[in-house]
Structure formats: structure tokens, C-alpha cells
Structure 1
Amino acid sequence: MKRRVARRLQAALATLALAAATGAVLSAPEATAATAGATGYATQNGGTTGGAGGQTVRATTGTAIHAALCGRATSSTPIIIEVEGTINHGNTSQVSGGSCSTAAGVIELKQISNVTIIGVGSGAVFDQLGIHIRAASNIVVQNVTVRNVKKSGSPTSNGGDAIGMESDVRNVWVDHVTLEASGGESEGFDGLFDMKDNTQYVTLSYSVLRNSGRGGLVGSSESDLSNGFITYHHNLYENIDSRAPLLRGGTAHIYNNHYVSLNESGINSRAGAHAKVDNNYFEDSKDVLGTFYTDAAGYWQVSGNIFDNVTWSSPGTDNNPAGPNPQSNTTVSIPYAYTLDAASCVPSVVSRTAGAGKG
């Protein structure tokens, strides 16, 4: 298992953090590390810029994040919210206003648009507190850690999802984040990165997802097929039981990710989903690609992947593993430009660049 070496944030981001007084509202530059450079499907449908061009506000509590959203002129006024410190239930209250719809115990990005949340300074940790994106568009979340969000036990937040999207969500870019749990459903946790109920044009890049029963899903059931156009690239999935991701319908582009210790299954394409799976490195894992736990078939196009100590189960009524010699059973057209790293380089590239605190 590769060791992850901590890196400093980009010099410009550190300078901005030092310059911003806590709670102050500053004039933001036209482009910052948080608002420039979306990739993948988040570049489509008009693109994803978050709060670019808006004011910059510093927040050290969840209540301050909500207050920044509620203090805008309208629900679509661009804003960049720099977050530093630990955000938890004790400092996250509901705030009311005409430009927001918030709730206690969760970071609520509901019925809003044009928002960036970025960790700065010594870092931002959302501890047992999820980020809920609902009926929202043009959202950027960058350089934060979200950990140990529970759906049962105490405290609970966001249905147990570290980051969850639902109800007509469009254009979200989640980048350089660390999402982690401390177990599976029996310990009270759910998904790390979930999308449902008509969520489209999302990219997850340069992020770490680890120590969870469920990595994430696209579609909450076999009938929730309105989601799609998701890109996953340069992410580390480590010690995940399943759903890396689970795709119910829709289209996903999955490239240059490093998968380590997928304990039960990995990319689960089902219910008509189409996945383009390019130049990933799968290591010490089981059933890393296929249709699992259903007879509703999904599809995949594969190229350039490395399967290092991967085991495969036998096909059955509810299991159709793609291996031991994965072959494409569909073709997927990708509408944006991208550059592939060689799969052999992926563990090194991802260990240097993925997760919160790494530029």
C-alpha cells in the first residue's frame, strides 16, 4: 500500500489565506485556485465556475458558512467561502434569509447557485457533518476533509453521506477533497459521494475516498435513472467494500484512478449505465468491474487498465464480473478533451496529488 506524502497548498492560495481576516469580506480576483480549471463533465452544460467573480468570505464555523450564503443579495449572487478549522454540530446552526435555505447539523447548499467552498490556511475539516447539495447548480467544493458522517447513531447528518447531491442538481466540481468514514452501514455510515434524483454534469477529481462500506452511487434505485454525465479521475479509493462507484443508468467516465483494497466489488455498472473505464490501476481487490447484485445489466468500455492482484468471482444470476479478462461491451463517446496518464504511473501520480492539502 502506497504511503501518502503531505504537500503544501499552492503559494497563491496560502497568500490569500494569510491576507484574509477572519470573517472579513474581500474583493476576489477574477480567477483563483478554487474557481479555475474544472475538468470532465463539469465543463459541459455551460461549465462550472462556482463563485468566480464574487466576494470572498472567511468562515471558521458552519454557522458562518450559512450566514455567508444568506447574506448574498440573491440566491445566485456569486460567492467564494474560504473555510478554516473544524466544522461540527456544535458550531453549525440554521440561518434564515431570502437567499438561502439552511438547516442545523448539515452544510446545506439548497436552492442556490454560483458558490465555491474551499479549505484554506491550516485546513478545513467537516467532522461528522455532511455537505448536502440540493436543487442547486454551479457549485465548487475544494480542498476540504469530510469525515465520519453518520445516518444512524449519534450525531447524524446528511443521511450518512459525506457529500450528497439530489433533486435537479447541475454542474458540480468536487476537487482535492478527502472523504472518509470508519466503517460500513452496521457502524452507522452510508455513502461518501452520492448522487440521485436528476443530478447531472459532475466531476470528482484528485480526491481520496477511504475506509467506508460504500464509496458512492449514481441513482438511488433501479428506477432512479435520471442521473448521469459524471467524471471520476485521479482519485484514490482505498479500503472500500463496494460502490466505487455504483452506477444506475447514465454515463460515467472513469480514468486514472487508483483502487486499493476494494473488498467486495468496485465499479458496478447496472440498469443500463454506460461506463468508460480508462487507464486505472486496480490493486489487491476483488470484482473491480462488472454488474453486481442485480440482473439489470450495465455496460462498459475498457482500455489501458492494470489489474494487480485482482480476484474475480464466478458469474451468476445476479453477478456478471467483467474479468478475469475484461472486454468492452459498448462504446462511450466523451465530449470533452482530456489527457490520460499511463496506468503504470497512476499510483505515483495519485499519491502525490490526491486529497485535501495537496496542490
Structure 2
Amino acid sequence: MRRLVAQRTLAASAATALAATIGLTALAMPAAQAATGSATGYASSNGGTTGGAGGQTVRATTGTAIHAALCSRASTSTPITIEVVGTINHGNTSKASGSSCSTADGVIELKGISNVTIVGVGSGATFDQVGIHIRDSRNIIIQNVTVKNVKKSGSPTSNGGDAIGMEDGVRNVWVDHVTLEASGGESEGFDGLFDMKNNTQYVTLSYSVLRNSGRGGLIGSSESDTTNGFVTFHHNRYENIDSRAPLLRGGIAHIYNNHYVSLNESGINSRAGAKAKVENNYFEDSKDVLGTFYTDQAGYWQVAGNIFDNVTWSSRSGDNQPAGPNPTSNTTVSIPYSYGLDGASCVPDVVRQTAGANTGLRVSNGSCTPQTPSPTTNPTTNPTTNPTSNPTTSPTTSPTSNPTPSGTNLSIGASSDGSSKASGTSYGNAHDGSTSTYWSPSGTTGRISIKWGSATTVSKVNIREASGAVGNIGAWKVVNNDTGATLATGNGAGVISFTATSLKKINFEITSASGTPRIAEFETYK
């Protein structure tokens, strides 16, 4: 017995020495959970996603140390939280062995395991040219890390070129506050930023940045790979992406409160029977942001509350079937979980303040206000920053029926857009200087916006209703589109005053009406 104890003591000492050399530190917090907040979207379904909650917490500074932490567990399902600091690259990512892991060189391999959290702490964690591969695994959280420049060709290569890839029966993954980026498309050696294949389900991507890639990500590797689904995308920023934002083959996706900027070829590509609920997103300076593309196998969508700002649409023909220029629903999607829905007009500012790694893990409260959530527990994670409050909302304002305010109408010569327009009307009619023309939304509520190429100071707007529709406008709010701040609220048309504000775009949002609104002129004044 004494000899066995001595052998175990020597083995433990050797393991401790090895851990020190590969950058693995055990922390005395057996019940800690470093991840902040709780899983949202579909990752909260199917029993929920808790990652390594309730298990040991360790800190790793190399990819090899991450593998060693997985391999050191008592079983493949023993909960563990791995706090990652510094840069993970090919030089420090090697295979580790053990009965509770199956790892490989040059990739972070989460294969055949469950109940794991990987979270960036300290000054942040970057996976440089090293991808994260999740295969045949369950209950995984990845939070507050950057994964960049993962290649499938050239040198070095990792993970088939995917920043984060999932396949083979994966269930319940929450990827939150991460930055995924490439430096080009397939010809430069890169593939997808966020891919799901072969029966991957109950996944949420939230508060993340995906940028500078030919391919944003996909659900399903081919038209026959339709066993994936139940995926939520919310409060993410897609920027400078050619296509696949995402590509959906079969299954169900919920896509809300995302900001899309510079989708160069196509955006949300629903095909092969996929169904997507697409609501309150902001699409900007992009092309063909929704539809079925590059296939004759149609997909479907339910749309509501989205804003299309300088979006162009190609003509429909053959295997190119964009949903625009006036997207309408062709299916319905029932969402089984509760969620807070920000207004689309404030999405750019909310996402700017919350999305990506090293942004303080800030989230939206569902009312367009970023905030820092309390951690599940308080381990050694880096402190989060205090949120910056939005400007105080102005009190409800009663518009006056005074004549035109003095000064220059800044709307003349400006640009405009909105949420929708009724047949025979246009956004431009609301600032052409003529009360004989007008804009109407396609329903009884909607948004009309005036925008300028540079910051412009505005302190008054004058809403003039067209003849025959006076009194139709009910409740409304005036919103600074740049920040999402509400400048004034009230009822009825007329002159509306508020604190002078410098902005590039101002919204007049009609939230109720007694009849179809007809805005003849949306005047703005300094």
C-alpha cells in the first residue's frame, strides 16, 4: 500500500511538472463557472447549455494545455471550465492523450466529449490560424475569444479552413462574444467562419463579429445534409462577407437583431426546404441579403421589422431568387423560447457596443440599451467594463400645429429610406417640397428616415400629413438612427422639438394609427 501511494505521489508530481511546462494551471475553484450570463436562443432548449458549470476551473496559455485539461478529466463528461489567456497557435498546439479526450495537432479538438466551457480572460485569447473543431460533442460553451485566419490550403492549415466548425451529432453549443475573421475567400485558402454539418442541432451564435471572409458560415454541407437545425443568430455583426450569412440547408433558424454591413454577393441563403425567421435585423450597403441562391431547391422565410438601408436586389431568374426588393413572408416559424427584441433602428448601435471578443460581455436588455450582466459566479475572469448609458429618453412630446419653423428645411436635398412603402408612394415624396405627393407605409405602422452624408444638427421636425389623411397618425417616436436614442415621443402630426442633436440619419417611427398614414413632408430644422 505504501508503495502504491508513493507511485501515485510521483505520478502527480510528474503531471504537475508537465502541466507547468505546457501552460496549464489548476485553480482552486471546483464549483466555478467562468462564462458570464446564460445561454440564449436554441442553445437554451433541449435541456439547455451550461458548459463546464459545476466543474473544475483551469487556466491555459497554450493549445496543448487546453488539450491536456480535457485529457486530465475523470471522464469525457466531467465538467470543466478552461480559461484561456494569450495567443494559441500551431507552435503551441499539440496532441495530448488520455481516456477522456481525442485530440490532434494544430487544431483545438473537442471530440466525443461534453460539459466544457472555453472562455477568454485577462487581456484576451486569440486563436491565430488555429481553428476550433467540435465533433460528436454536447453542452459546449465558447466565449470571449478571437479566432482568425484559419486556412484549408497554404500553410499552415487547420480545421478544414473553418474558424469554428461543428459536425457529427453535435448538440447544444453556445458561442458568444467571439470575433471570427479571415483575410479573404477560398482562393486565398480560407473557408467558413461558422459551419455546422451532419446532424448538428441546438446552437446559438450571439453578440459576435464575423468579418473579411468569402463565406460567413453554413448549416448543412450539401443539399442532402438537411439533418441540422434549430440554430439562433442574434446581435451579431457580419461585415465584408461575400456570401453565406448564413447558408441554410433544411432545418430551422431564428435570425434577429443582427447588423449586416457589406454583404457583397448574397446574405441569408435559405434553400433545400430550410425555414428562417428573420426579424428586426439591419441590412446596410449590401446586395441580395435574403433569398434562395445558387440552387433550384427553394427555402423559406418569415420576415418582420427588418430595415434595408442601401440594399440592392438582382433580378429573379433560374437559381437566383432574391426575396427583395420588398421581402414578404412565405412561411411561418414558431419560436419555442422567450427573447427580447430590440427595434431594428437601434441595432447598429447596440451591436457596435456589445458584439465581439473583449467588449466586456455586454448584452442588450431588449430595449436597445446595452448592459453588463452579472456572472453566474465570480471566478478569475477579467473585470467587465461599466456600460455606457444611452442618452436619457425625452419626455412625451405633444406636437404643435404651428406653421413651418423658421430656417432652412434640411430635408430638401437629403436622402431617405424607410421600413416599407405602399404602392404608388415613395420615400422621396416625403421631402420633395410638395404636399401633393406623399409616403405611406405598406400597413398602418412604419418608419420613414431622412439621412445626410455628414453629421447634421437637428432640433425640430415638422410632420405634414397629406390631404385626406389628417389625423391618421397616432403614436410615434423620433429616433437618432446613429445611436438608437429616442429623441421624442408623442401622438399626431405637427412640429416636434427636442434637444439639438448632431446625426447622420433621423427616423420618424409610427407605432399606431387610426388609418393609413400619409406623410406629405418630413421636414427637419436646425
What range describes the TM-score normalised by the shorter chain of this pair? Answer: over 0.9
Matched with 1:25 is 26
The 2-side partners of 1:244 and 1:28 are apart by: 39
Cα offsets for 1:160-188 (capped at 9, x unmatched): 00000000000000000000000000000
Secondary structure at 2:192's aligned position in 1? Answer: coil
Matched with 2:161 is 160
Matched with 1:132 is 133
Deviation at 1:70, TM superposition (A): 0.1
Secondary structure at 1:317's aligned position in 2? Answer: coil
Matched with 1:83 is 84
Deviation at 1:25, TM superposition (A): 1.6
Matched with 2:212 is 211
Matched with 1:146 is 147
5 Å matches for 1:165-244?
Answer: 165-244=166-245
Cα offsets for 1:62-95 (capped at 9, x unmatched): 0000000000000000000000000000000000
Deviation at 1:35, TM superposition (A): 5.6
Q: Which amino acid aligns with 2:56?
A: Q
Deviation at 1:23, TM superposition (A): 3.1
The 2-side partners of 1:79 and 1:24 are apart by: 13
Secondary structure at 1:24's aligned position in 2? Answer: strand
Q: Post-superposition, which runs of at least 4 consecutive aligned residues in structure 1 deviate over 2 A? A: 26-33
Cα offsets for 1:204-241 (capped at 9, x unmatched): 00000000000000000000000000000000000000
The 1-side partners of 2:58 and 2:237 are apart by: 30
> Is residue 263 of structure 2 the alignment partner of residue 257 of structure 1?
no
The 2-side partners of 1:95 and 1:109 are apart by: 12
From the CA coordinates, give the structure whose radius of gyration is larger.
2
Matched with 1:92 is 93
Secondary structure at 2:64's aligned position in 1? Answer: helix
Does the 8 Å contact 1:49/1:114 carry over to 2? Answer: yes
Q: Which amino acid aligns with 2:26?
A: V
The 1-side partners of 2:48 and 2:35 are apart by: 14
Secondary structure at 1:215's aligned position in 2? Answer: strand
Q: Which amino acid aligns with 1:197?
A: N
Secondary structure at 1:132's aligned position in 2? Answer: strand
5 Å matches for 1:248-327?
Answer: 248-327=249-328
Q: Which amino acid aligns with 2:312?
A: T
Residue segments in structure 2 that go unaligned for 5+ positions in a row? 1-22, 362-526
The 2-side partners of 1:32 and 1:115 are apart by: 10
The 2-side partners of 1:28 and 1:220 are apart by: 40
The 2-side partners of 1:145 and 1:189 are apart by: 16
The 2-side partners of 1:108 and 1:33 are apart by: 20
Q: Percent identity?
A: 83
Cα offsets for 1:304-335 (capped at 9, x unmatched): 00000000000011011000000000000000
Does the 8 Å contact 2:60/2:84 carry over to 1? Answer: yes
Deviation at 1:263, TM superposition (A): 0.0
Cα offsets for 1:95-127 (capped at 9, x unmatched): 000000000000000000000000000110000
Matched with 1:116 is 117
Q: Which amino acid aligns with 1:217?
A: L
Matched with 2:107 is 106
Q: Which amino acid aligns with 1:92?
A: T
Does the 8 Å contact 1:27/1:54 carry over to 2? Answer: no
Residue segments in structure 1 that go unaligned for 5+ positions in a row? 1-21
The 1-side partners of 2:91 and 2:57 are apart by: 24
The 1-side partners of 2:226 and 2:36 are apart by: 30
Cα offsets for 1:129-176 (capped at 9, x unmatched): 000000000000000000000000000000000000000000000000
